[in-house]
Chain A
């Protein structure tokens, strides 16, 4: 079985107070050995993941990495081939029945021929402990939408209504699958401000995204997923620093030989510009300069995007040494 903790870089700096927290409160999420298969496709491959209560965690990865499958398994929407999932100490189905989980699904939706207020009322009544309506409306940012027919909502408004449904029961754990997909820049900013507010109030927020900036800005922990496995796990800063430290880019002709350069972990072409991810910029630059000119040279610190791309390209086959 692959994907065990041994071959995953863990950047959690010191065991900190996490341990003490785990003793007093059950973890928000405990996944061990989760394997999900769709026909011949292995969507999640022996995944282990523990999320302590009160944290904000991004599941980051490209489309098809298995993020939605993980979320759906946690919500009991599919039957995994193997593995165990505990949600706040309960089975997924029991956690949902107990009203301890709120979810924004990627393929979730609103019923036709209904008004926003009616849907919200129905969902609030279903939960044992409903979020007070006035505050919920403000928190989700759906002021003035309650009387609106569902069909008359814009994409961003729909997402906010779906958020309100996820929050309706004031659940300790929030699971959000690509929550900002239909939002504009403004909407996304407002959304993440809300999420940070919820995290401050003690909610555990777990969200799947392929937007690196969201993971970078919001999450206090980033779990990078590729091919159904955890390939990196730590703070955004840790993930960034754990891989190739710098990116060197310059204009080059296609004939330029770039293989065999020292310290380079990835080469990407964009038009006539080549970008090299390197763990030692000085060594790489020296090798490059001995081999010719470097027009339009630019050296910068790796973005989270560079880091993740590099992790994904190398992490698929070779485990990356843990950085502690």
Chain B
């Protein structure tokens, strides 16, 4: 493995807060929501529906948190001066950037897999093996949109503002994207807002696959468009923002 990638992954592995918020919390929420809303179901099929719904929502929730949490580190590394230190080493800037993307992309996996395992073994969600793999796969691929969003935020803001922005953006995406309460119970106007959220379309990818169909073209295009938009913003900011403030 690339030494820089291994190094960055090892650093995040040490961060307990990160593991708690991106893996443990979504896993607990999956059990919690399924107990409550699944418990209201009157038939086993109804319970399955709720269990799948919340499992996918929490996979999306966890992956978004993980993607944002992994990429916000860029602002920390800029503030500490580590990014500048990397600039004066024989390491290509493109490699540093690629590692940031790879770290974000890889770190959504533990969250996705853990929540899926909780769904399967705690909540007894029944899906075919191919569907499980496809569902995790499509949610993993789609999480790149939030890696791009996190890069944009991490590159734009200083470390304190970035920390706040990440939490805020995470909550807004979860709430308005229908990850905590399903969009079906939203009033009409709020539903329109939900449809403007990348998180809604992202979770939709997983729901389509879990429902046995392929992901809807609409959802795929929406996630791709958000990815392209966030990535363009991130690149724009990376080009324009100086790496540091200079004095003397």
Binding site for B on A (CB under 8 A): 38, 43, 63-69, 72, 75-78, 96-99, 101-103, 105-114, 118-119, 121-123, 125-128, 162, 165, 169, 208
Contact = CB atoms under 8 A, between A and B. Distances in A.
Contacts of A108: 81, 84-85, 88
Given A112-B11, A112-B76, A107 B88 contact: no
A118 B14 CA distance: 13
Contacts of B242: 78
Contacts of B186: none
A210 B198 CA distance: 52
B90 interface: yes
Contacts of B232: none
B167 interface: no
Contacts of A97: 90, 92
Interface in B69-127: 76-77, 80-82, 84-85, 87-92
Nearest to A118: B7
Contact of B248 (A69, A122, A162): A69
B12 interface: yes
A98 B92 CA distance: 11
Given A110-B80, A112-B80, A113-B12, A68 B247 contact: yes
A126 B90 contact: yes
A111 B78 CA distance: 9
Nearest to A75: B88
B246 A64 contact: no
Contact of B81 (A38, A105, A114, A122): A105
Contact of B88 (A66, A96, A110): A96
A109 B14 contact: no
B4 A109 contact: no
Contacts of B92: 97
Given A78-B242, A106-B248, A107-B81, A114 B11 contact: yes
Contact of B85 (A78, A109, A112): A109
B240 interface: no
B123 to A, nearest CB: 33
Top 6 nearest A-B pairs by Cβ distance?
Answer: A109-B81, A68-B248, A109-B80, A113-B11, A111-B82, A99-B90
Contacts of A110: 80-82, 85
A126 B246 CA distance: 26
A110 B138 CA distance: 36
A165 B87 CA distance: 13
